[in-house]
């Protein structure tokens, strides 16, 4: 009865998560493909699996035949043959042909994964210790995304995968994705999209996605980046183009209402000991601008920030 109850609870929970793709317990295959890139990755994987299994079966059967046919009991006097030209040609040519069969679709997939030539929108991703920053440059939207802690999880949310602000993207749209980092190496990875792109400080790297169907897709940082590495989940909500247009409108309206007035002023970087020198006049009577002075060994002062 306990087993049946457990099965039913898992089944009901699974139905409630329809449309969300994330790792399942005891999962042995890929998550369901949700982009053309992932579909091609799965296709190449199936091809390689077929080739590998065929080679393993062939070699296994050949080994069994050799053990049976050429054992000591059946061959009191072993053969002294050391070379066979035809056989050597075959066991060289066949592996070369197999590598050719593997190489052609592999290179085609690498070029296909690289970037889209007709992007319809851009998403910029910046990795931080330990959260993600997302920016929609075409629409002037920017926000940070943090993992929902265990004590704040709502019913239906997944521990260590759900976030407070998820990415929202339209389906059937070529989205150019630019990734970088503000501190150390991170890796933005969403298995259902076939994306795993390292974020490198000081560099912009490019990939792309075209989501085939609506739903919610999860990923995680896949590069060791410090003590909070395991707490940098990724959540992407794919919606229709009409719903995305409404989401953009709502976001812009919200940002307009809540945006503080910008007041620029010099500030110190966190942890540094910085003082601001008073304004002074030169011999001509002109006022000299104040300068920011750092104590020796402190971190460089940040330039400007917005004061809310």
Q: Which of 39-43, 95-99, 155-159, 285-289 has the lowest mean pLDDT?
A: 285-289
Q: Which residue has the higher pLDDT, 43 or 261?
A: 43
Q: Which residue has the higher pLDDT, 286 or 221?
A: 221
Q: Mean of the per-residue pLDDT values for the chain?
A: 79
In this prediction, residue 258 carries a pLDDT of 52
In this prediction, residue 282 carries a pLDDT of 47
Q: DSSP string of 107-170? A: HHHHHHHH--SS-SEEEEEEEETTEEEEEETTTTEEEEE-BPPGGGPPTT--TTT-BSS-EEEE
Beta bridge partners of residue 201, listed in sequence order: 181
Q: Give how far Cα 240 sits from Cα of 17, 74, 245, Å.
A: 19, 71, 9
Confidence of residue 262 (pLDDT cuts 50, 70, 90): very low
> What percent of the chain has a predicted confidence (pLDDT) above 70?
76
Confidence of residue 157 (pLDDT cuts 50, 70, 90): confident
Beta bridge partners of residue 221, listed in sequence order: 188
- Dihedral pair phi/psi, residue 96, rounded to 5°: -65, -40
Return the domain boundaries, the chain: 36-73+85-114, 121-256
| pLDDT surpasses 70 at 147 | yes
User: Residues 206, 178: contact at Cβ < 8 Å?
Assistant: yes
Confidence of residue 276 (pLDDT cuts 50, 70, 90): very low
Beta bridge partners of residue 145, listed in sequence order: 132
In this prediction, residue 9 carries a pLDDT of 46
| pLDDT surpasses 70 at 264 | no
User: Mean per-residue pLDDT for 204-229?
Assistant: 92
Domain 36-73+85-114: which CATH number of 3.40.190.10, 3.40.640.10, 1.10.287.90, 3.40.50.2000: 1.10.287.90
| pLDDT surpasses 60 at 302 | no
Q: Which residue has the higher pLDDT, 274 or 3?
A: 3
User: Mean per-residue pLDDT for 255-283?
Assistant: 44
Closest CA relative to residue 240, chosen from 187, 159, 169: 169
User: Mean per-residue pLDDT for 300-307?
Assistant: 38
Q: Would the pTM count as exceeding 0.75?
A: no
In this prediction, residue 307 carries a pLDDT of 39
Query: For the chain, what is the largest distance between any 2 Cα atoms, rounded to a whole number of angstroms?
Result: 112
Residue 98 zone, left/alpha/beta (φ > 0; ψ -120 to 50; rest): alpha
Q: Which of 35-49, 50-64, 79-93, 276-290 has the lowest mean pLDDT?
A: 276-290
The 10s digit of each residue's pLDDT in 29-72 is 888 889 999 999 999 999 999 999 999 999 999 999 988 888 87
Superfamily of domain 121-256 in CATH is Cupredoxins -  blue copper proteins (2.60.40.420)
| pLDDT surpasses 80 at 293 | no
């Amino acid at each position: 009865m306990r087993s049946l109850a457990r099965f039913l609870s898992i089944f009901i929970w699974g139905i409630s998560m329809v449309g969300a793709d994330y790792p399942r317990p005891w999962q042995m295959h890929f998550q369901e493909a949700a982009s053309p890139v992932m579909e091609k990755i799965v296709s190449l994987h199936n091809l390689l699996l077929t080739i590998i299994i065929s080679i393993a079966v062939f070699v296994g059967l050949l080994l069994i035949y050799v053990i049976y046919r050429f054992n000591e009991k059946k061959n009191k006097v072993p053969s002294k043959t050391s070379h066979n030209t035809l056989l050597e040609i075959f066991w060289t040519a066949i592996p070369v042909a197999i590598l050719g069969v593997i190489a052609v679709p592999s290179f085609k997939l690498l070029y296909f994964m690289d970037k889209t030539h007709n992007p319809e929108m851009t998403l910029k991703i910046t990795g931080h210790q330990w959260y993600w920053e997302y920016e929609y440059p075409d629409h002037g939207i920017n926000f940070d995304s943090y993992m929902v802690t265990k004590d704040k999880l709502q019913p239906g949310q997944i521990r260590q995968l759900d976030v407070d602000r998820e990415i929202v993207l339209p389906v059937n749209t070529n989205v150019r994705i630019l990734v970088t980092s503000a501190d150390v190496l991170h890796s933005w990875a969403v298995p259902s999209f076939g994306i795993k792109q390292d974020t490198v400080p000081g560099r912009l790297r490019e990939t792309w996605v075209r989501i085939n169907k609506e739903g919610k897709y999860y990923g995680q940082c896949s590069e060791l980046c410090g003590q909070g590495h395991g707490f940098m989940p990724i959540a992407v909500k794919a919606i229709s183009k009409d719903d995305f247009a409404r989401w953009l409108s709502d976001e812009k309206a919200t940002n307009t209402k809540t945006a503080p007035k910008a007041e620029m002023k010099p500030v110190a970087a966190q942890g540094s000991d910085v003082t601001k020198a008073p304004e002074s006049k030169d011999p001509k009577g002109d006022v000299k601008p104040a300068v920011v002075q750092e104590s020796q060994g402190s971190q460089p002062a940040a330039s400007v920030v917005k004061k809310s």
